[in-house]
Structure 1
């Protein structure tokens, strides 16, 4: 009769449903969504603002090219590498603690970074800032998923949250240029601190703990009991996450080293090769975890469309970061536009990006998620091809401006629809982990992409008369981005299945089957008696 006691009964299932928190007032949900979106804005601002500030900062702290690129890459590296661990923390423990702690950590370190006058100290602080940023994103997405359980509202909320990151990506360039031109580079960091610290303080008081139901690991035991603590630690999957984190760190370090070293040197090849072996070790280890374990389930990697959506997440930030780097450096070094005038020329992207991100869910419901995403990839491909010939001042308005608008629209459709879809293929209790994986893919794509782009550009310029004053190296780098977009398009067309059964339906059917088995065993037991 032991099998009967281990099988969930109909009463237990109903009790679980009734224990779910009531939907909060519209005002509270809207305020929390706004605060989470502002935190997302600051996380992305911390990267994009430095593209405009980097030339002045480099001169001020007497940094060489390799050290300068690490001011950006150090944040991206730790941000991407620790997202998965923070996602597990927000799933196993309450996401409120992760969000508030991450926001407070990020704000405090940004404040310190503004006062730093040592280049190595700044790089270390930037790496530590990435840890704080990594804690805020998955926990915010986890809270949003529970604040907006209804599908349409959730899609709209996630779209709004995603649009704040896009706006931070674009406005960061302009705000960073304004601070550099009229004050100092320190205000780039102080601005982030002034924004994020009040958010952490406010959220301490207004995020209710009962937004998220009790975690599975602690449902059957007393609060704060030793057994509960052990089960929660198991749920973090420390070994698996550590292996994957080490693999990401080595992968990003290897590719970022390619910006200042030859791609055939040991400092590039060894970390990249080791990262691939660690990735293999990670998947081998995950397959050895029992399916009923509280740790990261191996089957997550095989959810319907999960792999192709993860691949789609590699593209948007890669495309934007590459465009920022290529054209900001070209406009300032070759055309001699000021930092603020160069940054303003990216302003149209802000206008184009806002509405597609918010209404992406409505667009995909009307046209279909696959058609909408494929259309976005086609727009991005056309745009990237046009940018390869944007090699003069006179071509900004007829070629570069429309290309950026078209490409931004395309990337927004890819970003928003992939973000919405990846939550639909995973169960609600994995929301933090899924959000972490998606955002890790965004950052990995940006970090690896910008490294390859800068390496291609520098290698071509070394062989070209005129060097950085020409557009040949930048054009070659843009053709690499074009190839990436084309591969993404082919993969999505071939492998994305719009009719795939949502994982919630699959798991519901599994529960129903288990209930039927349990009831059958119970009836047989009574008959025997």
Structure 2
């Protein structure tokens, strides 16, 4: 086929980003779609929390050293975080239902496989491979919801319900995982049976509830495989270093392979960004000839400039908030089990208020996101989450749970739920139809990076404060408490940063819920805030 034929072939495809109307699902179908996608979110989160609560038991059973236990959760997070962008693009191009079902089936198969493992290395490898399923279902689910519900109250409710899957899945994984680990004969293996069952439920529900994938609305339906390799490899190196740097031997962060892999990771990400800029310019140039070497970019860098740069700011807010939220959760869980000596079940029940508060927060989002400006949702949500870290930064270990632990569990989820629910509605509103899964993948990538970096930075703080306290002559238990306090102060700082970003940069955005409800500033912004599209046209934000 000649170059001219390629150009003519592309010209016959519907205009990029054209929103082909789809029938609004019936009430029963809408509930089923939302329930399946929400369950998928819960399964993805539970795959981390159910395993995390069982780490001491797994370590004892398989004789895993303490400093290597984290890889049972990090391996899943590593692959799921690094592959989100690629699977987001695959979902947008090849079909969100297909990607969702494939991811659910993948999670089912490898969760079942993990239950039969008898050695630590195999379990870590399987956990890493299993994470690919989580990377597939989450961006696909976000795209499915955005495609199924036009901007309306129904979309707000759907996204808020989907977001509720995170605290529900996290709490369910912690409580059920703790109970199964402590009270069943299969101990931690029973948790993997439970996770496999949830994934199988997602697969069967998706077969029934999710509608057939519509045709892609892009001119060029190719996947940027080179970009996928670059970003996946770069993120893998960086996240690996963040998890391993503090325990690497013999010099921790100064260990040669840590430095080398960090340099390689940063280099690959830099090359990826430059490659995406190049592809975007080629795609936006109507005079550029067709070339097999210049597919559409995996991620358009211009995305970050949308809505006057607020798209990018929202990504930074999600990143900082998850540094705070998961930093608090990680160290509070260790505080309960390692410092106060509680078993998995007793530690798990202390997080029950998170489930109740999380559901209430998402209920609030569902019904009031069309009435409350996003700046209030983001700034207050992140500020309230910071309070949880602040309470543990000054916690008295001899005090009752109701003095510090209970209010911290209540306040911790405000930022996670407001930022995730409000943020996904915001980015869905300013993303084009063919970008929904990619945008969802990018948003979750920032969340995953925030999780890894928040834990990594607070771990460095923890280790150094503990060492300094010991050098000052404090007992090992006193030094340990000082270190827990310092790690939570670090999480608090990340939360305050997220709140300041929201206050400074999201003013004027207004309401992002129902399409019909807009502030005067939003109306003015819709007339002035435009971006370049792939064919040189102009698009309102």
TM-score band by shorter chain is: 0.7 to 0.9
Alpha-carbon distance, 1:118 to partner: 0.8
Give 3-state SS (helix, strand or coil) of 1:311's partner. helix
The reply to whether residue 307 of structure 1 matches residue 312 of structure 2 is: yes
Larger helix proportion of the pair: 1
RMSD between aligned residues: 3.0
Match of 2:380 among 375, 384, 400: 375
> Which residue does the alignment assign to 1:473?
483
Equivalenced residue count is 494
The reply to whether residue 273 of structure 1 matches residue 252 of structure 2 is: no
TM-score by length of 2: 0.84
> Which residue does the alignment assign to 2:514?
none
Alpha-carbon distance, 1:382 to partner: 3.1
The reply to whether residue 260 of structure 1 matches residue 261 of structure 2 is: no
Query: 1:287, 1:61 → 2: CA distance?
Result: 47
> Which residue does the alignment assign to 1:76?
77
TM-score by length of 1: 0.86
Query: 1:417, 1:20 → 2: CA distance?
Result: 24
The reply to whether residue 35 of structure 1 matches residue 36 of structure 2 is: yes
> Which residue does the alignment assign to 2:218?
216
Match of 2:371 among 366, 371, 381: 366
Query: Is the contact made by 1:361 and 1:417 (CA closer than 8 Å) also made in structure 2?
Result: no
Query: Is the contact made by 1:316 and 1:415 (CA closer than 8 Å) also made in structure 2?
Result: no
Give 3-state SS (helix, strand or coil) of 1:263's partner. helix
Query: 1:106, 1:7 → 2: CA distance?
Result: 37
> Which residue does the alignment assign to 2:492?
482
> Which residue does the alignment assign to 1:103?
104
> Which residue does the alignment assign to 2:202?
199
Question: Structure 1 residues 277 and 496 mapped into 2: Cα distance closer, same or farther (>3 Å)?
Answer: farther
Query: 2:527, 2:356 → 1: CA distance?
Result: 35
Deviations 1:141-179 (A, max 9, x none): 111111111332212111100111221112211111101
Greater C-alpha Rg = 1
Match of 1:445 among 447, 450, 470: 450
Query: Is the contact made by 2:382 and 2:414 (CA closer than 8 Å) also made in structure 1?
Result: no
Query: Is the contact made by 1:259 and 1:452 (CA closer than 8 Å) also made in structure 2?
Result: no
Deviations 1:296-348 (A, max 9, x none): 43322322211111112224443343233322222223322222111111111
Query: 1:68, 1:140 → 2: CA distance?
Result: 30
> Which residue does the alignment assign to 2:353?
348
Deviations 1:369-397 (A, max 9, x none): 11221111222233322221113131421
The reply to whether residue 295 of structure 1 matches residue 297 of structure 2 is: yes
> Which residue does the alignment assign to 1:518?
none
- 1:22-171 correspondence runs (5 A): 22-171=23-172
> Which residue does the alignment assign to 1:527?
none
Deviations 1:349-381 (A, max 9, x none): 111111212332543432311122111122223
Match of 1:249 among 236, 240, 252: 236
Query: 1:316, 1:180 → 2: CA distance?
Result: 30
Question: Structure 1 residues 338 and 213 mapped into 2: Cα distance closer, same or farther (>3 Å)?
Answer: same
Question: Structure 1 residues 427 and 361 mapped into 2: Cα distance closer, same or farther (>3 Å)?
Answer: farther
Q: Which runs of 5+ in 1 are unaligned?
A: 218-230, 516-529
Alpha-carbon distance, 1:503 to partner: 11
Query: 1:286, 1:360 → 2: CA distance?
Result: 34
Question: Structure 1 residues 307 and 120 mapped into 2: Cα distance closer, same or farther (>3 Å)?
Answer: same
